Structure 1
Amino acid sequence: MKQVICFGDSNTFGYIPGTGKRYPWGKRWTSILSEKLAGTDSRVVEEGLVGRTTIFEDPLRDGRCGVKLLPVILETHAPSDEDLVVIMLGTNDCKAIYGASPEVIAKGVGRLVRQVKAYSDKVKILIISPIHLGENVWKEGFDPEFDGNSVEISKKLAAEYRKISRAENTYFLDASEFAVPSKTDEEHMDEDNHSRLASAVYEKIRAIRCA
């Protein structure tokens, strides 16, 4: 792999829980992954954006709809058949305003996968289902854009993403098996969990290379 393009939301961006700031290089999972791949012929392309969704338009912030942005990003980085596109989205799709079921969110991921395939049917694709939302994320003092149902939806994404992965013949990883959200905001990973996820993705990439 020459490029590992990581297309995601705030947890790919490296949002520091409760601050609005970004983890520095070496702390966010994409940069840790890049360091783990040092010495190989690969480089990590960080394409994380706070608030990004799979298919939904955010009424409060522009430019968050994944299916509108991914084609531009693919043209920008021009992945070849030696490259890997990593898609880790869905957390923001769980917001109450979208009213989306796990099945609908997974279909959004499926659209993203097909956009990659339309660009090149040789590019490898890794779908990562996101970490679960914390039980208190919707309560006072946390994120009012979520509700109690959002938490349950987030827990059901992995099963639906697996179905999409099988149907589209992609690789799959469940981030919730390795990482959890910080208690600070019940939504974003702390440094330890960024490190855990980076290790899991690294091992998955090693397995893909050997496949």
Structure 2
Amino acid sequence: MEHKPLKHILCYGDSNTFGSDPDHPGQRHPYQVRWTGRLQHLLGEDYRVIEEGMGGRNTVWDDPLEDNRNGLRFLPVALQSHKPLDLVILALGTNDCKSHLPANAATSTLGMARLIDTVRRFDYGPVMSAPQILLLAPIHIGTEIAHSSFTMFDDASRAMSMELGPRYRALAESCGCAFLDAAAVAGPGADQLHMASDGHQAVAEALAPMIRGLL
């Protein structure tokens, strides 16, 4: 019996894609709780949701305090590893807001533009086409971040996080990408940075109908 081809979705993100649990520091939400796992459940067996989340990953910056966090550097590896792909969800931006990185909302948007360009220009081979792209702007950093355990974030980080959604939306429109602002449906949990289970559910429920319309 011939099997119907799956629609492959790469979710390329940071700790909120990895599923860091704000109520249990150092631990990870179970797969079925993370937005990627919930999205897989909502979309069903005709789709394969590929989770590629890493704590601390940013768009394009080398972090002097954490190795291997440059999202631009690893993206081609992920594309090569998981092709063929029908959709890439780019879910980065929060870590660009770290106080020691040379980024602001404008340059973070330029960094995201480079990621979009990388997905589109990557060599998928003679029989595979470039995937569609959905830009997922991050949730806002919490109001008490300066008093949290995340010393690399401060009040200016929160302010920058609140600028990313509108800028990423404009970028998505100019580049012809789909867009969802996660901050419109979810926020941070007790640790001021990561989504609790209800946030993961809300993001997945917002994404699922969009993806069905795209693929």
Scaled by the length of structure 1, the TM-score of the pair is 0.92
% identical aligned pairs: 40
2:11 match = 6
The offset of 1:122, in angstroms, is: 3.4
2:149 match = 142
Alignment of 1:102-141 (within 5 A): 102-119=105-122, 122-139=130-147, 141=148
Q: Report the Cα distance in structure 2 between the residues aligned to 1:134 and 1:127, rounded to whole angstroms.
A: 21
AA in 1 matched with 2:101: Y
Of the structure 1 ranges 115-124 and 4-13, higher mean CA displacement relative to structure 2 is found in 115-124
> Contact 1:16–1:23 (CA<8 Å) still a contact in 2?
yes
1:202 match = 208
How many residues are treated as equivalent by the alignment? 204
The offset of 1:2, in angstroms, is: 1.4
Could you tell me which runs of 5 or more consecutive residues in structure 2 were left unpaired when the two chains were aligned: 1-5
Provide the secondary structure at the position in 2 that maps to 1:11.
Answer: helix
The offset of 1:128, in angstroms, is: 0.6
Provide the secondary structure at the position in 1 that maps to 2:139.
Answer: coil
Q: CA RMSD in A?
A: 1.3
Match of 1:191 among 164, 173, 197: 197
1:25 match = 31
1:98 match = 101
Match of 1:89 among 88, 92, 104: 92
Could you tell me which runs of 5 or more consecutive residues in structure 1 were left unpaired when the two chains were aligned: none
AA in 2 matched with 1:208: L
Deviations 1:58-90 (A, max 9, x none): 22222110000000100001134xx00000100
Q: Report the Cα distance in structure 2 between the residues aligned to 1:79 and 1:98, rounded to whole angstroms.
A: 34
2:40 match = 34
Q: Report the Cα distance in structure 2 between the residues aligned to 1:165 and 1:176, rounded to whole angstroms.
A: 16
Q: Report the Cα distance in structure 2 between the residues aligned to 1:9 and 1:20, rounded to whole angstroms.
A: 14
> Contact 2:133–2:178 (CA<8 Å) still a contact in 1?
yes
Deviations 1:172-194 (A, max 9, x none): 11000000000x21000001111
2:62 match = 57
2:84 match = 79
Where has structure 1 moved over 2 Å in runs of 4 or more?
Answer: none
Q: Report the Cα distance in structure 2 between the residues aligned to 1:38 and 1:166, rounded to whole angstroms.
A: 28
Q: Report the Cα distance in structure 2 between the residues aligned to 1:126 and 1:175, rounded to whole angstroms.
A: 12
